[in-house]
Structure 1
Amino acid sequence: MSRAPSETHVAVLMGGLSSEREVSLSSGKGCAEALETAGFRVTRVDAGRDLAQVLAGLKPDVVFNALHGDWGEDGCVQGVLETLAIPYTHSGVLASALAMDKDKSKAVLKAAGLKVPGGGLFDRHEVARRHVIDPPYVVKPNAEGSSVGVYLVREGSNDFATEVGADGWTYGDLVMVEPFIPGKELAVTVLGEASGPRALTVTDITPVKGFYDYEAKYAPGGSVHVLPAVLPPEVFEAALRQAEAAHVAMGCRGVSRTDFRYDDVKDDLVLLEVNTQPGMTPTSLVPEQAAYVGLSYPELVRWMVEDATCPR
């Protein structure tokens, strides 16, 4: 993008239709304010089914996609933006769709030589009835983010079964079940720069209580972030390089975030997933890591807008 910020109209998509609507509203608010601070002309758009018509009327120069979850993060909105020929931030249709499907993305990452958890997809009703793998293990929707619908199951625990087996469950009949990997929860932000992907740093995330679930991610004080993470140098370096490799393998562009678990007893680093639309809320990891390497929030969102493209 060659225009000056003051000459650039950015539509910030937020809210949307998914279970991650509230997270997206928070991300979108922060990004819109940061873009205004950086000098852009900004329109906030609460994305609904009429998104194509709204954008056709607004005629923005760039779309900043701050949506999370299905429809906004899984390639659907990306397809709308490409149909309208509007440059947009973050990954394209294929990478977005792939990253939202945990089963398929694990297959791609494994084929790229990256270590991913075992387990697989199971019918949720079967998972609610019995242990399909030996506990402890993690149950999660195959196509959700922000730790929505995620449960850590230990020996003798069955409180999750009521939710997973309920008629009101809205996250699909197939759920991902993976062995629980003890140790540290790690995250790495990658910027897809012209010279190649650049990993920023590694954050060690410790939930204040229990598991790193939705509340631990987004509630104020829900988790403690240590950055840079205190790790053996070779593990720190491996996390950086593997996050860059995952960014490439998945076909990401713009910003991505890769999540790991590191078992410091077994010295085992396992890649959990790649997020193509990482959170940009006040407690989110991406702006925190960017600030650590000297990139302010307004500078980060400006870079994302300048990186926006629309594949032809």
Structure 2
Amino acid sequence: MTIDAKDFGKVAVLMGGWAAERDVSLVSGKAVLDGLCRKGVDAHGIDAGKDVLQVLQNGNYDRVFNVLHGRGGEDGVIQGALEILGLPYTGSGVMGSAIAMDKYRTKLLLQSLGLPTPGFALIQSEQDLEAAAELGFPLMVKPALEGSSIGMSRADDIKQLRAAWNKAAEYDSHVMAERWITGAEYTAAILGDEALPLIKLETDHDFYDYDAKYVADDTRYLIPCGLDQEAESRLQSLALGAFNAVAASGWGRVDILVDVEEQPWVIEVNTVPGMTGHSLVPMAAKAVGIDFDELVWRILAQTLEAN
């Protein structure tokens, strides 16, 4: 089917929002908006506030490109509201968004399906620290319901674990400790039902944190990733399996660590990944000849196929 820009009608690009990832979302949203406009789409940026549904209704929009990162935009909330309004939208539906946003429940699901993910424990009180420590140090400690590495830190002993828990708890009462994996980090961008070429991430930081993602200029993105074709295909299949396991759809990203014994571990699934100048999905798409404007066009086109 040949798609013309007018087939999309009036498109709202939702960005900003009220989550901790607001600033990143504004940058992502501006990039998406510019890309769609260059393709001739009648696209309009909306800095989503709590009145966003009224704005959408009053604006007579035909569909939504959702670039809201984090709570409210990536967790099923806006998706459910858009379902009620009858507005097609990009990315995962209500269930996939809600599951993937919750790192703890994502890992419970991955574990139940036999997909490899590092050992983990939920920390909701002081009493839970001992159970988390039994996983063995070092540990990665993170808010269960935040993205972009916000509130994450490494703990090498019980004292650091307590401090890391307190830091993460500033963002979310549900905090997760996860067994630290020493090895290489890869990410698989998902577009439709295909995993794009893997990107290997290298940073001089302890881990791929917020600064390494969005600020630092010395983070290294290796594509080709350096694996042989068979090994890369295995990781791509694992990424697709994890993506489908949480009922994600449309587009997204799956992060995987491979330890020194070459055992892969799924870390998390992202359903509204960043679309900034440092972002990974556009980087992977470019490697297969899909430029940024074509990428956002293809993502938006999925809303026509869903109808």
2:262 is aligned with 1:260: no
Question: 2: distance between equivalents of 1:183 and 1:155?
Answer: 20
C-alpha contact (below 8 Å) 2:183/2:257 kept by paired residues: yes
Select 1:299's aligned residue among 273, 294, 298.
Answer: 294
- Secondary structure of 2:107's counterpart equals helix
How far off its partner does 1:266 sit? 1.1
SS in 1 for 2:133: coil
Q: Partner of 1:139: helix, strand, or coil? A: strand
Q: CA deviation at 1:259?
A: 0.3
Q: Over aligned residues, Cα RMSD in angstroms?
A: 2.3
Secondary structure of the residue aligned to 2:82 is helix
1:191-242 Cα shifts (integer Å, max 9, x gaps): 12xxxx1111111101133321111111141511001211244331111111
Report deviation, 1:124: 5.1
Q: C-alpha separation between the residues in 1 aligned to 2:257 and 2:240?
A: 16
1:279-304 C-alpha deviation (Å, 9 max, x unpaired):
11110000000000110100000011
Tell me if 1:107 matches 2:108: yes
Does 1:154 find its partner at 2:149?
no
Q: Which residue number in structure 2 is paired with residue 185 of structure 1? A: 185
Mapping 1:101-140, distance limit 5 Å: 101-123=102-124, 125-126=126-127, 132-133=133-134, 134-140=136-142
Q: Tell me what 1:227 maps to.
A: 223
Q: Which residue of 2 aligns with 1:172?
A: 172
Residue 205 of structure 2 is matched in structure 1 by: 209
Tell me which residue corresponds to 1:88. 89
Range 244-253 or range 16-25, more displaced: 244-253
Post-superposition CA distance 1:73-123 (Å, at most 9, x none): 000000111111011000000000000111211122223331111122112
CA–CA distance in structure 2, aligned partners of residues 125 and 47 of structure 1: 36
Aligned residues: 305
1:243 aligned residue: 239
Q: How far, CA to CA, are the matches of 2:185 and 2:125 in structure 1?
A: 26
Amino acid at match of 1:182: T
Residue of structure 1 in register with 2:59 after alignment: 58
AA matched with 2:171: Y
Letter of the 2:291 partner, please give it: S
Q: Which amino acid aligns with 2:47?
A: D
Greater relative contact order structure (CA < 8 Å, 6+ sep): 1
127-136 or 218-227, which deviates more:
127-136
SS at the partner of 1:308? helix
Mapped partners of 1:295, 1:124: distance in 2? 47
Q: Deviations over 1:3-61 (max 9, x none)?
A: 62146321100000100001101110110011111111111101111011000011112
In structure 2, what is the Cα distance between the partners aligned to 1:46 and 1:198?
Answer: 31
Contact 1:14 1:46 in 2 (8 A): yes
Q: Of the candidates 276, 281, 284, which is equivalent to residue 281 of structure 1? A: 276
Per-residue deviation, 1:127: 6.5
CA contact (8 A) 1:220 1:283 kept: no
Deviates more, 1:236-245 or 1:15-24: 236-245
Q: 1:64 to 1:98 in 2, by over 3 A?
A: same
User: Percent of pairs identical after alignment?
Assistant: 38
Deviation at 1:172, TM superposition (A): 2.4
* Matched-pair contact (CA < 8 Å) for 1:82–1:311: no
Asked whether the 8 Å contact 1:208–1:221 carries over to 2, the reply is no
Q: Which amino acid aligns with 2:272?
A: Q
Per-residue deviation at 1:132? 2.2
Query: Structure 1's 128 and 26: CA in aligned 2 closer, same or farther, altered over 3 A?
Result: farther
Q: Is the 8 A contact 2:19 2:69 kept in 1?
A: yes
Once the two structures are superposed, what CA deviation does each residue of 1:244-273 show, in whole Å capped at 9, x if it has no partner? 11222221211110000011x211100111
Any conservation in 2 of the 1:124–1:165 contact (CA below 8 Å)?
A: no
Mapped partners of 1:124, 1:107: distance in 2: 20
Listed as ranges, the gaps of 5+ residues in structure 2 are none
Q: Is the 8 A contact 1:128 1:165 kept in 2?
A: no
Amino acid at match of 2:204: V
Distance in 2, matches of 1:180 and 1:122, equals 16
Larger displacement relative to structure 2 (169-178 or 21-30)? 169-178
Under a length normalisation based on structure 2, what TM-score does the superposition of the two structures give?
0.92
Q: Contact 2:20/2:70 (CA < 8 Å) preserved in 1?
A: yes
